[in-house]
Amino acid sequence: MGPSVALSPAKQAEQLKKDGNVCFKKDRFRAAIDAYTEAITLCPNVPVYWTNRVLCHLKRNDWTKVEEDCRKAVQLDNNSVKGHYMLGLALLQRQEYAEGVKELEKALDLGRGADPKGYMVEEIWQELARAKYMEWEHESTKRTWELQTLKEACETALEEKYILEVSQLEGFLDEVSTKHMEQLESLARVFKIAAEADTPTEVPDYLCCKITLDVFRDPVITPSGVTYERSVILNHFKEVGNFDPVTREPLEESQLVPNLAIKEAVQAFLHEHGWAYKMD
């Protein structure tokens, strides 16, 4: 299985890559890594040798090496979908959420440009949504804790002041008591509002597909004025028939119009309410 001395380095490297692929398919990852490493030694500037080796590291959960090899791969080819994708995953693995999300977004853009309906785009999108959710969860946990601490500090300070007031009073106790209770209620309301953006509730109806009830990703509007998720209405055409699900009027794919305003509205909402990235 070794390279023939008569072949050029490039051809040898290609043969090694093929050998590596065979090992990979048989789950022999160490052997695959060795083969790719030899190929890299002969021809260090071929991006695919690096990304193939990354896949092996991934299988072995060696995230440090995944990150190293990915960085090399994107250095050699800044348009490598797999390179940015797996670099993103590696960064998320060590909780570098902002950087990881950036890499995934780059991978998604490149992937959409190359093959919008390919399996990779769907997979990257799922990981991106998960990453954005984790990023939100991480930050909101911190914010929630800070809010709670501040709220308790205010409550304590107001409580102590109240106790002092009461001890100095002669009469008017009810009035001061009531005022104090109301103050604490108002304070609770204020902190509730401050926590609102971080509090998972329901995504507004008009930002969700009427069929799946999921947040829109690629909303399209039909001549009836109703907006659907593009993949869902296309599936409806295939499985059920060419008509508008709500009005039941005849409908063709060519009549679907991208609802750009709603798409923008969804982005704005997700930006403010990271909890909505959670996919069920």
What residues make contact with a second copy under the rule CB under 8 A?
146-147, 150, 153-154, 156-158, 160-161, 183, 186-187, 189-191, 193-194, 204-207, 219, 221-227, 257-262, 264-265, 268
Residue closer to a second copy, measured from CB, 4 or 254: 254
Record the tokens describing residue 207, joined without a space. Answer: 């930002």
CB of 56 to a second copy, least distance (A): 44
Residue closer to a second copy, measured from CB, 18 or 248: 248
CB of 151 to a second copy, least distance (A): 8
Rounded Cα gap, residues 51 and 30, in angstroms: 15
Rounded Cα gap, residues 86 and 59, in angstroms: 12
CB of 46 to a second copy, least distance (A): 41
Sign of CA dihedral 144, 145, 147, 152: positive
- 97's torsion region: left (phi>0), alpha (psi -120 to 50) or beta? alpha
CB of 11 to a second copy, least distance (A): 50
Q: What CA–CA distances, in Å, run from 49 to 127, 185, 232, 254?
A: 24, 63, 38, 42
Residue closer to a second copy, measured from CB, 65 or 151: 151
Q: Report residue 147 CA to chain centroid gap.
A: 26
CB of 124 to a second copy, least distance (A): 24
CB of 155 to a second copy, least distance (A): 9
Q: What CA–CA distances, in Å, run from 103 to 84, 85, 91, 181?
A: 5, 6, 9, 51
Residue closer to a second copy, measured from CB, 171 or 225: 225
Rounded Cα gap, residues 242 and 246, in angstroms: 12
Residue closer to a second copy, measured from CB, 107 or 209: 209
Residue closer to a second copy, measured from CB, 120 or 158: 158
Q: Please name which of 231, 228, 233, 195 lies closest in space to residue 213, comparing C-alpha atoms.
A: 228
Q: Report residue 48 CA to chain centroid gap.
A: 26
Pairing of strands 257-258, 219-221: antiparallel
Element (H, E) at 135: helix 119-168
Do 266 and 219 form a contact (C-beta atoms < 8 A)? yes
Residue closer to a second copy, measured from CB, 115 or 196: 196
CB of 229 to a second copy, least distance (A): 12
CB of 179 to a second copy, least distance (A): 10
Residue closer to a second copy, measured from CB, 48 or 158: 158
